[in-house]
């Protein structure tokens, strides 16, 4: 069967530790996989934020601790990362993170209504080779896909440490409708992710893009 979306992620199991594997036994309790699950989980929170591709989730964890009134939906396909974040959620008794495993685009296309206050994508896989650019997550098709699930005046925050990806995001934004570019975002000041830290250590600039949904 033809895949609906080209994989935007590297298919890797990664090195998974025994404790991450054990944590994965608890995934069902913390996972949401459809709009009904999300609506139920959201009841006791005032805001809903989606983070796509959380990696190891340290940034998600910091945001969740700082903003107990917001429910964070943390999406990842990388199983070791899911196992790690699950461990942190359990250890710290975090009540405001729910996990989504698998390609997030398949869930976004089912939601069909504006439920997210904010959507974050921090350092998506860069796919540096020209022949792989079509695998990049952020493109016009993606901005169209995510638009209906963001609330009016809600934000889409994106960042990359790859100059060439940043240039293509700039172009994509210019071609897209229904968003207004903002100068800055609160997410520029949040805990650095693993990939952001690596970029800074290696002296690479981090390019950020904040769009507000306007129509």
Ligand X SMILES: C[S@@+](CC[C@H](N)C(=O)[O-])C[C@H]1O[C@@H](n2cnc3c(N)ncnc32)[C@H](O)[C@@H]1O
Footprint of ligand X on this chain (CB under 6 A)? Answer: 8-9, 52-55, 75-78, 81, 103-105, 122-125, 137, 193-196
Name which of 185, 115, 167, 168 is nearest 146 in CA terms: 115
Catalytic residue among 36, 37, 118, 125: 125
Of the two residues 12 and 180, which places its CB atom closer to ligand X in the complex? 12
Catalytic, 125? Answer yes
Closer to ligand X by Cβ: residue 138 or 211: 138
- Tell me how far, at minimum, the Cβ of 74 lies from ligand X, in Å: 10
In the sheet that 70-76 helps form, which strands lie side by side, from edge to edge? 97-101, 70-76, 47-52, 116-122, 150-160, 207-213, 179-182
Shortest distance, CB of residue 16 to ligand X, whole angstroms? 13
CB of 97 to ligand X, least distance (A): 15
Q: Which 3 state secondary structure label does DSSP give 74?
A: strand
Q: Which residues, other chains included, contact 84 with Cβ-Cβ below 8 Å and sequence gap of 6+?
A: 20, 23, 56, 57
Smaller CB separation from ligand X, 65 or 180: 65
β-partners of residue 157 are 120, 210
Q: Tell me the catalytic residues.
A: 125
């Amino acid at each position: 069967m033809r895949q609906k979306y080209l994989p935007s992620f590297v298919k890797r199991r990664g090195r998974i530790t025994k404790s991450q594997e054990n944590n994965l036994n608890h995934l069902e309790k913390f996972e949401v996989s459809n709009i009904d699950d999300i609506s139920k989980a959201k009841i006791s929170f005032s805001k809903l934020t989606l983070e796509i591709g959380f990696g190891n989730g340290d940034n998600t964890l910091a945001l969740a601790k700082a903003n107990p009134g917001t429910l964070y939906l943390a999406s990842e396909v990388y199983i070791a990362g899911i196992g790690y974040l699950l461990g942190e959620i359990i250890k710290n008794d975090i009540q405001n993170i729910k996990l989504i495993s698998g390609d997030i685009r398949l869930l976004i296309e089912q939601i069909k209504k504006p439920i997210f206050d904010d959507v974050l994508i921090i350092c998506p896989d860069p796919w540096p080779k020209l022949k792989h650019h079509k695998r990049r997550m952020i493109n016009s098709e993606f901005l169209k896909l995510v638009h209906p699930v963001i609330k009016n005046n809600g934000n889409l925050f994106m960042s990359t440490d790859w100059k060439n990806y940043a240039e293509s995001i700039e172009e994509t934004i210019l071609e897209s409708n229904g968003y207004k570019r903002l100068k800055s975002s609160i997410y520029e000041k949040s805990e650095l992710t693993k990939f952001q830290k690596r970029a800074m250590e290696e002296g690479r600039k981090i390019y950020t893009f904040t769009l507000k949904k306007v129509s």
